[in-house]
Homo-oligomer: A and B are copies of this chain.
């Protein structure tokens, strides 16, 4: 257990960008102590072998992933693994009493059939999976507070759902008209070497990918359906942008009431997110830039209404590695532990 009464925390899968952000943010968190880093391919290396610039800041080694060891050393564990691995060790960790925050897709789905259809993996941990809560605090704060197992949202779903939630929850739009055109920096593709993510290929270029079949679609639709109270289908198109960090989701939907104007919706969104310290609704006529979020856990939302076409356009910007991944997981931990939701999380963007 951690010294000075701090909570002992471990990270499994610390070598990727999600991992290094968790390490960075948890180092500065006043109530936790990072005591364990685990990994498969990188086991035996020090964390500084992977990230030399952290040699003088983090002196942990990467250890093999053994649930028993983790359980003996940690009260809380973050899992940052490829899909299909978290579900293999989580049952043991939960049984041993740990709090588990999983950053993969394994515990995001209410229904494991959907998971199987989109991820191609059959699962036997149905009972445990049924106890998982979707870790988007702005929508499921109370359930997160009472949970031991969190399925942290994907980066695209975070940006998309924060843009859509007030509209769907209050029945302001025709759900089947919702189109999400999302744009992400390349760090969302992880640290593994792929030709398409090389600077020489990705810089000064731009393209869509996974059109009509990206795995974040069922995740977004699941939560949209929960918000609307009935099955909702959305159009979602991700794009790769020549930048390191940041997601912008541009969301289009037809308003049910063509009389609503921009300022009405700003008022509605502000009320909806009144108790949400990490969501900021832009002033009238202001649209968010992803750079405003880089390095912080904030989501900026800008709203426009096109009265000619009767559509609302919502733009939602986050740092994909913070609010879209590591920061949001820590936000969930804060809620689970009963701490301030903002504890230890960066509020001010790195700008420029």
Q: Which residues of A contact B (CB under 8 A)?
A: 17, 20, 24, 27-28, 51-57, 176, 179, 181, 183, 185-187, 189, 191-195, 197-209, 211-212, 233-235, 237, 239, 241-246, 248, 250, 252, 280, 282-283, 286-295, 300, 302, 304-309, 311, 313, 315, 317, 347-352
Contact = CB atoms under 8 A, between A and B. Distances in A.
A17 B352 contact: yes
Contact of A347 (B57, B192, B205): B57
B287 A208 contact: yes
A17 B194 CA distance: 16
Contacts of A246: 204-206
Nearest to A221: B308
Contacts of A347: 57
Given A203-B204, A235-B252, 14 more contacts: A27-B348, A52-B292, A181-B252, A183-B206, A191-B352, A194-B198, A204-B243, A206-B289, A207-B288, A208-B315, A211-B287, A212-B305, A212-B313, A242-B242
> Max chain B CB contacts within 10 Å: which of A187, A207, A307?
A207
Nearest to A193: B193
Given A205-B290, A208-B248, A287-B209, A200 B352 contact: yes
A233 B244 CA distance: 36
Given A195-B193, A198-B197, A212-B305, A207 B287 contact: yes
B199 A186 contact: yes
Contacts of A197: 193, 198-200
* Pairs A-B, 7 closest by C-beta atoms: A53-B292, A205-B291, A193-B193, A212-B306, A181-B181, A207-B289, A187-B200
A348 B57 contact: yes
30 contacts: A20-B352, A24-B348, A24-B349, A52-B283, A52-B292, A53-B291, A53-B349, A55-B280, A181-B250, A185-B200, A186-B198, A186-B200, A193-B193, A193-B198, A198-B199, A203-B204, A203-B243, A204-B244, A204-B294, A205-B243, A205-B289, A206-B241, A206-B248, A207-B289, A208-B248, A208-B313, A211-B304, A235-B252, A235-B309, A252-B252
Contacts of A198: 186, 191, 193-194, 197-199
A219 B250 CA distance: 22
> Max chain B CB contacts within 10 Å: which of A176, A204, A212, A309?
A204
